[in-house]
A and B are shown apart, each in its own frame.
Chain A
Amino acid sequence: MSALFEQFVLESRELLEAAGAALLRLERDPTETAAVNDLFRALHTLKGATALFDMAPFTRMVHAGEDALMAVRDGRAVMNGDLADRLLDLLDIGTAWIDGLEHSQSLPDDADTRARAQEAGLRAALGGSAESMDGGTPAGFTWVDELPEAERAKAAGRTVTAIAYDPAEDCFFAGDDPLDLCRRIPDLLLLRVETAGAWPTLTDLDPYRCALRFRALSGAPKDELTRLFRSVPDQVSLATVAIPAPSAPVPLAAPPSLATAMLREQARILGLPGSDAETAARRPAVLRAVRNILAAEGRNADAPPLDRAADGPADALIRCIESLADGPAAAAPAAPAAPPLQARRTLRVDAERMDRLMTLVGELVVAKGSLPYLAREAQQGRNADALAQGIKEANGRIDSIVGDLQDAVLRLRLLPLSRVFDPLPRLVRDTARRLGKPVELHLSGGETEADKDILDILGEPLLHLVRNALDHGVETPERRRAAGKPDVATLRVHAFQDSGGVVVEVSDDGAGIDAAAVRRKAVAQGALSAEQAAALSDTEALRLILLPGLSTSDSVSDLSGRGVGMDAVRGAVEQAGGRVEIASAPGVGTRFRLVLPLTMMVTRLVTVETAGALYGFPVTLVTGMQRFPHGAIRRMKHAESVVVQDTVVPLLRLRRLLNLPEDERERSGESVLLVDLGGQPVALVVDAFRERAEVVLKPMTGLLARLRGYAGTAVLGDGSLLLALNLRELV
């Protein structure tokens, strides 16, 4: 991929995003001229870019969008929901094409059809101006259809403006120079100079009576041309017409491949006249060449027929080679298997942050410089105390720089949350429209930063929560009115930084979640017994919606309500080392809170010792550490429990979970780690607490990857190995 093309892909994406944002603004306030202009500018730039790469359908589609906007700007059309829908659809297709282009560098086969459909759709949305529909060329412009293909080649596959300019006979006296006017037609694709009739002899010719007519095609929009011909509006007529792409070669199709040409040549060589000896000598050479061509093309499947024909008569071999030459063309190269869509791995970094990194590296180099000096001192047998002092100082300096360095690197990966907020306005707009619930979206805190990986994980759950809020949270306008609320619901998405983490809140002023209903549902589905359900506090009951398969919605809409979503939200957030909190008041609204660590690279773990080995648990899951005397542990059959803050919490023993031998030591009580497993408090008996550690977790790889219960491994400062546990999989 050329650098220019890469840039095109990158920029087009940005332009499409900008256009989308402007469009949403425009729909909200159709009078906002700044939004029209932004949108127009984005589309116009995009059109120019696509034209640069000769992607006719793309250019055509964007051009149609531009036309529609022009109509809005000139007051010929009104920006309404339908038109916005169409334009958004157009932007979506554009985005999909850009994604495709990034992988295959070509537009999909149906691009032209889709572009035309978009174009027709937009015209229909604009009130179907009679001029220029796809199938019929407007009256007076049949000459466009009659143009020989060679002449309209430049315009093929584009939507252009056709110009029929019949200058008045006496136009020269008005100071007109029609030819000069034609010269000024922007993006001229075709110009035909025609005579009104047969020429009289030169002696009879009146040079001052204009007898010429001009027919032209231009890639410029009609408005621009109307302006150009403003002095002769009565002599010119303009129409927007679509010029079909030439029938045979699509502009983007690969030219007949070199391989095909070479194979044909081989067949021709075989057919050349010559003595028997000559033809016999040619045959092995030709066969070798053909085999090489096929191998180079990766067409190994074609080798057997060639082998079969190789020993046969010469004309059979020629036919075989000719069919091979036609082969891939006829059997339309299988559409390149859609490459797995990878997340974009590029990262835009502030130059300032890069500079900071550079500075730190410089400091590190300086600090390192003291080490050879210390080594020399040691060699000369200096006093051990002084030497130790020197080493400590050097260590201190390097330590502080490495700390800063680590921080700087992490900062490189920090991106603003606005990246995941960007799709929300569109989502809310589309969903609200579909559900018939007017909703006002308030986004705030988009400038809060989080690690790139966290953002990647956050995207989906956030979309889900917003969709859920619209579908289940927000009531219909009638119900809202009945409840004395304003018709337009409010949805807030707010991000902020909290002690060492990022918090994203999604709150609505909708109906709220009825904790009693959640309890009933959970009992009905057998997730809990009636007693267990009754014992839950309302907050705990709300967390039940995070369980797989539990949905409080009675209807399954195409949006949500299938009970597959919330546990996925929880799963994704917890995978990133975060947690979900829910607060809801019936009739007032619901607030979901996603608490995420700032970065995933360094994980803070609480380490514990059990059976001589170290294990770690993410700090975000741990709610407390406590020692319980044996007497405080209640036992019911095999199940043990403790009471923590007036709540009965099940007690598990890490040794048993890991199938380790029982702890035989003499001890007065148990060290218990209190863990929150997605709203389910669990007490975990470990042998001993150790310090907290900040580690870089490495996931299990190879055979170990299949082991359940482990989140990864980390090497501690003293070189010992730590296993980070994924409790949910163990319990």
Chain B
Amino acid sequence: MPIRFEDRTARFEGACTVDEAIPLAEWLCAVEEPRLDLGGCTALHTALLQVLLAAGRPVAVPPEDAFLKGWVMPALLGPALAGP
């Protein structure tokens, strides 16, 4: 299971696929103060990225993957700082 939803934390692990998009969106709507842990994420499907961007929640643990860290995180930080 690439995304593990544990109570208040969503833990992204390995290649997270398009199938997680709906569960992720639902979880984000349901949890009061969701905590996003992308540390173990090696690939993020575009659909998941959209959900994260739309949610505008801060990422607690940024991904270690170079591509995600270098190019995707700035996009996630941008709206988070500016507000959606």
> Residues of A with Cβ closer than 8 Å to B?
167, 172, 176-180, 182-183, 188, 191-193, 195, 198-203, 205, 207-208, 210-212
Say yes or no: B29 contacts A202, CB within 8 Å: yes
Counting from the closest, the 7 A-B pairs by CB-CB distance are A207-B21, A193-B75, A191-B71, A199-B54, A179-B46, A205-B54, A178-B46
Say yes or no: B46 contacts A200, CB within 8 Å: no
B59: interface (CB < 8 Å): no
Residues of B within 8 A of A188 (CB): 67, 71
Residues of B within 8 A of A207 (CB): 21-22, 24-25, 47-48, 50-51
B60: interface (CB < 8 Å): no
A141 to chain B, nearest CB (A): 19
Say yes or no: B28 contacts A202, CB within 8 Å: yes
Give the complex CA separation of A205 and B56 in angstroms: 13
Interface size class of chain B, counting residues whose CB lies under 8 Å from the partner chain: 20 to 34
The proximity string for B residues 8-40 relative to A, scoring 1 for CB distances below 8 Å and 0 otherwise, is 000000000010011011001100000000000
B4: interface (CB < 8 Å): no
Most buried by B among A183, A205, A207: A207
Say yes or no: B56 contacts A167, CB within 8 Å: no
* Majority SS at the chain B contact face: helix
Residues of A within 8 A of B29 (CB): 202-203
Q: A199-B84, A205-B51, A205-B54 are in contact. Are A177 and B25 (CB under 8 A)?
A: no
Q: A172-B47, A205-B54 are in contact. Are A183 and B67 (CB under 8 A)?
A: yes
Say yes or no: A199 contacts B53, CB within 8 Å: yes
Residues of A within 8 A of B53 (CB): 193, 195, 199, 212
Q: A195-B53, A203-B29 are in contact. Are A183 and B43 (CB under 8 A)?
A: yes
B15 to chain A, nearest CB (A): 9
Residues of B within 8 A of A211 (CB): 50
B72 to chain A, nearest CB (A): 7
The proximity string for B residues 42-84 relative to A, scoring 1 for CB distances below 8 Å and 0 otherwise, is 0111111111011110000000000100111001000100001
Give the complex CA separation of A666 and B56 in angstroms: 120
Say yes or no: A210 contacts B43, CB within 8 Å: no
Residues of B within 8 A of A193 (CB): 49, 53, 71-72, 75
Residues of A within 8 A of B71 (CB): 182, 188, 191, 193
Give the complex CA separation of A201 and B44 in angstroms: 21
Give the complex CA separation of A425 and B50 in angstroms: 61
Residues of B within 8 A of A177 (CB): 18, 45-46
A185 to chain B, nearest CB (A): 10
Closest to B21 in A: A207
B33 to chain A, nearest CB (A): 14
